[in-house]
Amino acid sequence: MIPTSCARFGATKTIIALILAGMWSPLVAAPATEPSSHARVFLTFDDGPIDVTLNVLEVLRRHHIKATFFVNGIHLTGQGGENETRSAEALRRIIADGHVLGDHSFDHMRHNSTTGIASSVDTYRDMTSDLRYFVPENRAIVNAALGELAARPNNQVAGMARLPYTNTWILPGYQAVCGICTTDSDAPAHADQTPASGLSATRSDGIATRIAETLFHEYGMTIFGWDIHWQPANWQGPASSETLEPAMSLAGRINALIDRPPCASDHTGDSIRCQHLPRFNKVVVLTHDFLFENSARGRGADINIPQLEQLIRTLQASGYRFDTLDRYF
């Protein structure tokens, strides 16, 4: 049996090494209603940049916080099917305002869908060809649209990625952070899912894992998933954006997760596999730019921009800090 202290913080030797390396500080988990002053929320926005990204950036600027945007270059070509006439302006503004950019593939894997709308079932079909939609295609288009801003350090389109429909994490030194887990140091971790080793190499999720591993090993990219998905209750309804989870409900879920022990494990025979990520007072929130626009999906700007403001105010008043994923460690 693993001692409670080890289950929460990993092996003592590992902790000492991390402290000396400046990668970890010995924090005590605070009650969910009173998060530690070190508790951080990472707001992440997928599937932009589109016109409404500019409205989201205004909210972030008013509250003096930074976020991470995982972008699809197809919007920069005007072929993304969104309100995207100002997408290049929004992209440049993300960097100019000090937010962080990451790679989310060129077309959200839409090229693999026979209906034009990809799903989690048929998202990935061929590792070699699908990989190209990250590198070089998306990277090249994003950097070209950024121009001189591409050299800014917060442009991490070559440094981090999130795979569409895939909650896969591959973090450098994963074993060092979660010392109790008998995984390889860079093994993929699927938050609240089965470990990557249990996935079929020919199924969409297995191909996605191979793409993630290639991006990590061959291109030096960190792969980020998410802890909480801020999403509509009904994706298929005629006004799906109007069913976005209320901000106060989301804040409650963030509070509950902050207080959950890191490195939660599952005993499989004699081995221990990490099924939840080592958080150490961190929560990554995934949401999508298009949920905040007025469009065919509903009155997202009218209803959800105020929800975004309320979420930020609520979490800040509770002691949370907002940060970007390049500072995850």
pLDDT band at 12 (very low <50, low <70, confident <90, very high): very low
Per cent of the chain over pLDDT 70 is 70
Per cent of the chain over pLDDT 90 is 57
- Size (the chain), residues: 329
Task: Give how far Cα 299 sits from Cα of 93, 234, 294, 311, Å.
Answer: 24, 14, 4, 18
pLDDT for 147 beyond 90 = yes
Least confident range from 1-10, 56-65, 268-277: namely: 1-10
Tell me the domains of the chain and their CATH numbers.
33-327 (3.20.20.370)
Q: H/E/C letters for each residue in the chain? A: CCCHHHHHHCCHHHHHHHHHHCCCCCCCCCCCCCCCCCCEEEEEEEEECCCCHHHHHHHHHHCCCCCEEEECHHHHHCCCCCCCCCHHHHHHHHHHCCCEEEECCCCCCHHHCCCCCCCCCCCCCCHHHHHCCCCCHHHHHHHHHHHHHHHCCCECCCCEECCCCCCEEECCCHHHHCCCCCCCCCCCEECCCCCHHHCCCCCHHHHHHHHHHHHHHHHCCEECCCCEECCECCCCCCCHHHHECCHHHHHHHHHHHHCCCCCCEEEECCEEEECCCCCCCEEEEEEEHHHHCEECCEEHHHHHHHHHHHHHHHHHHCCCEECCHHHCC
Contacts of 306 (CB under 8 A, 6+ apart): none
- Strand pairing partners for 268? 271
Mean pLDDT for the chain overall: 79
- pLDDT, residue 11, reads 34
Q: Does the pTM of the predicted model rise above 0.85?
A: no
DSSP letter at 1 equals -
The mean pLDDT of 2-18, rounded to a whole number, is 33
DSSP letter at 155 equals B
Considering only residues 315 and 227, tell me which one the structure prediction assigns the higher pLDDT.
Answer: 315
pLDDT for 179 beyond 70 = no
Residue ranges with strand state E in 90-247? 100-103, 160-161, 168-169, 189-190, 222-223, 228-229
The mean pLDDT of 289-295, rounded to a whole number, is 96
CA angle 326, 328, 329 (to 5 degrees): 110
- pLDDT, residue 84, reads 95
Least confident range from 9-13, 149-153, 234-238, 291-295: namely: 9-13
pLDDT band at 262 (very low <50, low <70, confident <90, very high): low
Q: H/E/C letters for each residue in 73-126? A: HHHHHCCCCCCCCCHHHHHHHHHHCCCEEEECCCCCCHHHCCCCCCCCCCCCCC
pLDDT band at 278 (very low <50, low <70, confident <90, very high): low
d(CA 190, CA 299): 33
Q: Identify the residue whose tokens are 């500080």.
A: 25
Residue 277 φ/ψ, nearest 5 degrees: -80, 155
pLDDT for 199 beyond 50 = no
Q: Give 301-328 pLDDT, tens digit per residue.
A: 999 999 999 999 999 999 999 999 999 8
